[in-house]
Structure 1
Amino acid sequence: MNNKLVICGYGWLGRYLGKAMSATHTIIATTRSEEKALKISDKHIKGLVFSLGDDTTTLCEALGNATLVLNIPPGRRNTQLDDFTDNMLTLIDNAVAARVARIIFISTTSVYGDNRTDVLNEHASTQPETASAKAHVAIEQHLLDLKTNDKVDVKIVRLAGLTGPDRHPVNSLSGRSLNAGNKRINLVHIHDVVAALKTLIFADSSKNNTSKIDSTDLYHLCSLQHPKRGDYYTQAAQKKGIAAPTFSESDLAPTGKVIDAKASWALLGILPDYANPDDMI
């Protein structure tokens, strides 16, 4: 059984995943400071100082026959991402050279752009608009090219907007005046994301009953319901007891993209516990 897991980018999502996998896997988790590396290290998790662009030698020493969860975001406000993309591709190539067993890349549904109004399944074309989305598309394509050439096993996981018990987008929207209240929302709860990632990681550890998972390289993780954001965030603020945002166009017919994740959940054999965004509040 392959029980080596490297989480490259041990942020909010990484901490939830590390806690969930610590009983079954030996985990190396990268962080950018020595202080944080020491803080996260225990008998199950070893913190490793690594920043994107650093020499990868020490990191790659841990990657042989390991599952690598690659979760390094570029930063929302960064619009110059050529170096970020190049460094990610270099890290991936070095991981492959180190004989990593599988790469699970945490991507984003923003690769579809923000101006679409259709239902988007895993076969929909990407139309990235932001620098971050364009970088993610480039990294995805590089990984898929490596997969096609039998260089490494690859899984790409496109996440909708992440929520959790200590994180919900309504907190940053509280009291604001916003447009497009009729746009649909696409959210996913950290509990369901961890369940999906655990399934993919264990599928790498054992080839028993993994034919469905092995049949695809791309997954959507998103709730199954998509209310209008004006309605949803107003109700969410009221439930949380914070100042509600106000939206224009909330009374118009729903519009905006819908991330269809039904096929992905079915392949994973998971019915998300937070299929309804109301349950995420």
Structure 2
Amino acid sequence: MTSIAIIGLGWLGEPLAMHLKGLGYNVKGSTTSHEKLPGLQSKGIETALLKFNPHPEGTGFSKLFETDVLFVNIPPRSRTMPEGFYVEQVKFVREIAVQSKVEKIIFVSSTSVYPDWNQKVDESFPLTIENTGSPGIFRAEQILQSEKRYDLTIIRFGGLLGVDRIPGRYFSGKTNVVGDSPVNYIHQDDAVRMSAWIIENNLWNETFNGVAPLHPLRRDVYEKNSRELGFAPPLSYASEGESMWKEISSDKILATGFQFQIPDPLDFWY
């Protein structure tokens, strides 16, 4: 039975673990929180305490790296940690993975690596450290790709939303909100399914955008959220044409046969 270890059993990692267990995989993972350990273990997920600070701290986490597939899902804390902290975290993950002879890695990246150049963008876009929208995440990708001794697939997810993450709520009652640019969102359900699809179909040594194929305007999403969920919409929107944007293509993952259950962010459930 293929074993899968998920570094980061959080908002995406925990439902992914449950989904993969349902598919018959042997799943284990890590959390940074003592409080979450009992709940995760009660669901049948072998869980270790592990925090990259940026060096690894925790207990019993070496067993995590005795796995067929390592799913690396460490959110960059760019607002609270100094620049370079995330890159150091990923360096330590790579070092342990190489020492443990992990053969396959999936790295959760972000579409924020693409610049906002008012255009449609796919995985063939020639990213550099000079043009990237997120130098830390781009460097992390480069570290995992350099001198790699494992199969590596990178998933650049758009805005991970749905369930308790409601885009309109973040802008409720705010002024001068950008409303005229396209969204690049993916629902939690589809992010889980897409991650599992890559493993099941052995889609290795690739980079995929994880974004719903439809891109309604931000204003339309926020207004629909406020109507349906009963909170105030933004008080005002920025003048049209002032903000820079990008529209991320999901054509590459669609070409593998993957189908989104919720292709339109206007239909996300919360």
TM-score, length basis structure 2: 0.88
- Which digits, 9 at most, give the CA deviation of each residue in 1:141-178, with x for residues without a partner? 1222234xxx0010100000011222221122111113
1:274 aligns with 2:259: no
Report deviation, 1:15: 1.3
Mapping of residues 199-214 of structure 1, within 5 Å: 199-203=197-201, 210=202, 213-214=203-204
2:146 maps to a residue whose letter is D
**Contact 2:208–2:253 (Cα < 8 Å) also in 1:** yes
Query: Equivalent residue for 1:240?
Result: 229
Query: Equivalent residue for 1:190?
Result: 188
Report deviation, 1:140: 0.6
Mapping of residues 129-140 of structure 1, within 5 Å: 129=133, 133-140=134-141
**Contact 2:178–2:243 (Cα < 8 Å) also in 1:** no
Cα distance change of structure 1 residues 251 and 111 upon mapping to structure 2, 3 Å threshold: closer
Report deviation, 1:35: 2.8
Report deviation, 1:198: 0.8
1:273 maps to a residue whose letter is Q
TM-score, length basis structure 1: 0.85
Question: 2-side partners of 1:255 and 1:227: how far apart?
Answer: 16
Report the 3-state secondary structure (helix = DSSP H, G, I; strand = E; otherwise coil) of the residue aligned with 2:94. helix
Query: Equivalent residue for 2:40?
Result: 40
In structure 1, the gaps of 5 or more residues are 204-209
Query: Equivalent residue for 1:207?
Result: none
After the TM superposition, which of the residue ranges 98-107 and 239-248 deviates more from structure 2?
239-248
Cα distance change of structure 1 residues 81 and 254 upon mapping to structure 2, 3 Å threshold: closer
More helix by share: 1
Report deviation, 1:11: 0.9
In percent, how many aligned pairs have the same letter?
26
Given candidates 53, 56, 60, the residue that maps to 1:54 is 56
Report deviation, 1:229: 1.1
1:11 aligns with 2:15: no
In structure 2, the gaps of 5 or more residues are none
Question: 1-side partners of 2:266 and 2:64: how far apart?
Answer: 41
Mapping of residues 44-193 of structure 1, within 5 Å: 44-52=44-52, 53-55=55-57, 58-78=60-80, 80-113=82-115, 115-126=116-127, 127-129=131-133, 133-147=134-148, 151-193=149-191
Report deviation, 1:252: 5.7
Report deviation, 1:84: 3.0
- Which digits, 9 at most, give the CA deviation of each residue in 1:161-213, with x for residues without a partner? 0112222211221111133321111111111111111112223xxxxxx5xx2
The two structures, once aligned, show a CA RMSD in angstroms of 2.3
